Amino acid sequence: MKVSRRTLMINSAAATAAFAATQLFRPRLAQAQTNDVVNLYSSRHYNTDDDLYETFTDLTGIRVNLLEGPADELLERIKNEGANSPADVFMTVDAGRLWRAEQAGLFAPVVSKVLSDNIPESLRHPDGYWFGFSKRARVIMYNKDAVEPAELSTYEDLADSQWRGKVLIRSSSDIYNQSLVASMIAANGLQATENWAKAFVSNFARSPEGNDRAQIEAVAAGLGEVAIANTYYLPRYAQDNDPAKQAVFDKTGVFFPNQADRGTHVNISGGGVVTTAPHANAARQFLEYLSGSEAQAFFAQGNNEYPVVEGAALDPVVASFGTFKADDINVSAYGENQAAAVQLMDRVGWQ
């Protein structure tokens, strides 16, 4: 069976259109009350994930119905659908978003020996509300012509005056940065992190703009000397047939910070079973499948991510970055410290 793929980009300002779309989507999903289907709401937007879902169907006979959209809008949709929601599983990127969903009461706790055995404790909710299925390392990327790796050490060090006018990073509204700062609050305390952030902002090469790829391209072009970005973006440049893209990869180095102390900040892509899931058993099976070796290989090979299960083969370009020590703080701390992180970033003028 093939994945039933339905993509819906919900415009929160167009409530009538969203409601109509809901009515079109719901009848076909809600009518199946057996466990031969799982209805997945996902903000992951990678076409390679289709292979994951098709393989799950081949292995189990359980069909995956996919609804895609921005994370916040999918969350609002589940809330609005209430007890009649057809959603079985909600998946998204960043532990901060998963935490928001859990706080809104949208996840049911899952007890599964498979999940607890496969997924490290630091990469899942302590009470089983959600689980990480792939990792993203948020690293320092540097211009190879301007920086020697020996000059780099920690995230904290990027606040040093030697990096004045040399740091590239995206906006404080980006949840990846909010989670990074939240992890630093957990590690160093609120006041120390605010002191760091004040000096860090003064080292920006430009006002924050663009996504992680924009930071990578800017550092390769020499608009700054170092950038903070997720690793999985960089291999795309090496894999592109455009010589200009390949040149970006060739000019950009990867450095894993904080190897002498807590380790490099990692975030997750993950999901959980929706509280009102009509096919809860199939949903649990789906999550267990995502933690298995076959699915972990899909995450690693298909989207240049790091698997959460040790031993899954990495994409060759990702493997070329080398091994690293990851921060083993429980990623739920990103959500717990998220509000404090946002307020702190506002106070120091991080745009």
pLDDT digit string (tens) for 123-162? 999 999 999 999 999 999 999 999 999 999 999 999 999 9
Range of the domain at 198: 137-265+323-347
Q: Residue 170 falls within a domain, yes or no?
A: yes
- The whole model's pTM is what? 0.87
Q: Do residues 130 and 271 make contact, with C-beta atoms less than 8 angstroms apart?
A: yes
Beta strand 107-108 with 266-274 is antiparallel
Residue 341: CATH number of its domain = 3.40.190.10
45 is in an annotated binding site: yes
Beta strand 4-7 with 63-68 is parallel
pLDDT for res 4? 41
Q: Residue 229 falls within a domain, yes or no?
A: yes
Q: How far is CA 8 from CA 167, 258, 283, in A?
A: 36, 40, 21
Quote the CA–CA distance of 207 and 170 in Å, as a whole number.
Answer: 8
Please tell me the total count of domains within the chain.
2
- Within this chain, do residues 81 and 224 fall inside the same structural domain, yes or no? no
334 is in an annotated binding site: no
Q: Which pair of structure tokens corresponds to residue 134?
A: 């792939």
- Within this chain, do residues 104 and 158 fall inside the same structural domain, yes or no? no
pLDDT for res 14? 33
- Within this chain, do residues 147 and 245 fall inside the same structural domain, yes or no? yes
- Within this chain, do residues 145 and 75 fall inside the same structural domain, yes or no? no
Helix, strand and coil content of the chain, in percent to the nearest 5, comes to 45, 20, 35
Q: Residue 70 falls within a domain, yes or no?
A: yes
Q: Which helix (H) or strand (E) holds 181?
A: helix 175-188
HSE-CB of 146 using CA atoms within 13 angstroms: 18
289 is in an annotated binding site: no
- Within this chain, do residues 144 and 249 fall inside the same structural domain, yes or no? yes
Q: Residue 318 falls within a domain, yes or no?
A: no
**CB proximity list for 203: less than 8 A, separation 6 or greater:** 158, 159, 160, 161, 163, 164, 165, 166, 167
Over residues 111-133, mean pLDDT: 97
- Within this chain, do residues 335 and 206 fall inside the same structural domain, yes or no? yes
- In this predicted model, what pLDDT tens digit does every residue of 281-337 receive, in sequence order? 999 999 999 999 999 998 998 889 999 998 888 999 999 999 999 999 999 999 999
| Amino acid identity at 66 | L
- In this predicted model, what pLDDT tens digit does every residue of 184-206 receive, in sequence order? 999 999 999 999 999 999 999 99
Residue 1 has pLDDT above 70, yes or no: no
pLDDT for res 34? 57
> Coil, helix or strand for 113?
helix
- Within this chain, do residues 170 and 237 fall inside the same structural domain, yes or no? yes
Q: Look at residues 21, 335, 283 and name the one whose alpha carbon lies nearest to residue 178.
A: 335
- Within this chain, do residues 120 and 251 fall inside the same structural domain, yes or no? no
- Within this chain, do residues 236 and 159 fall inside the same structural domain, yes or no? yes
Q: Do residues 163 and 196 make contact, with C-beta atoms less than 8 angstroms apart?
A: no
